[in-house]
Structure 1
């Protein structure tokens, strides 16, 4: 009876030791596979963003109203063009690399510097174009109407782009892009239990802490240092 109990206790002890080892090595394996290190997670998020190629998070519709005039033979012709168009605001994510992503361990902050916003378009709504003209005699006798139409089209295109580049829509486009990129980095970090501050900037928004961030390592530098250390 005693021998049987001793054998049973020995088996339980062996099972406990084996279970402990499995738990220890299993945890170590999971930590290696699911490394919660913010630099590793940020590098994976960056790769996912780059695969999107271009990011467009904001679009706006504008209306250009332009008028052109021509005078010949003592006569004057005038045409007014009303041209609606849609403009998209995009960021070329292919230009974003590891040097643009910096990790500040002291403040637990990940900072991303994006390429500039690009205005794409306008995509003109041809069905909504309206034209009004005066001076039909000159347009019937000469090519004045063709000249006026060409001048109006070019002027309207420039006007749509000018409106798209005004301060308010550019700010809205930046804010929308900033939020999208912040989520792209913050959500994977939270998923592995890393609570980090994610800040997204554009090149001309470098604030007064520029010197601090210039000495903060990019994720390229951090990963390169780790590989070098592992090789030694």
Structure 2
């Protein structure tokens, strides 16, 4: 029986909408809406991903589900406040390392990045440009300069490796994968800007969550199609 993946997409869209609406104001009910919906996002995507896998899926592809569980851990940790920031950072770092490993397994010189290598230094410049902006604030803590540097490197590398994935006659899928990874990069950079450079900048929460939810969905939509 064909699984109703479209139904999970509806649930994910509703949960994402709840998060976005909850971040448009500081009213207690709006915050409660955000906190109620955010923990649902990654479990829905993990189930969607699992249902999307063909029967001949490689064992490595199941690591993707683990990556989404680490993303869920990061989501929950960041909801708990500043005291859990490093824990959330570490959980998302593990997600990015798994994503990077899976993308690396499908690399090809025929990929977008193989044909346009200039994008690699551009992406790393974006990631570390934020890092140097945040460095004065990071230096107030003995751990954060090293932790955020490692995170920025992993974040940029994940986005770069997404552009090395290649499958012949799958331009739409590869485009969605690359865009999803880039949106995730932008979302995390906005988290960093909000935390260390420009606190509470205009529509910070809305921008962070909109790029995050769309970016993750695009990656989860695209990756299983590489097996078909």
> What TM-score do you get using the length of structure 2 for normalisation?
0.22
Of structures 1 and 2, the one scoring higher in RCO (CA 8 A, sep 6+) is 1
Bigger strand share: 1
Structure with max Cα Rg: 1
> What TM-score do you get using the length of structure 1 for normalisation?
0.22
Bigger helix share: 2
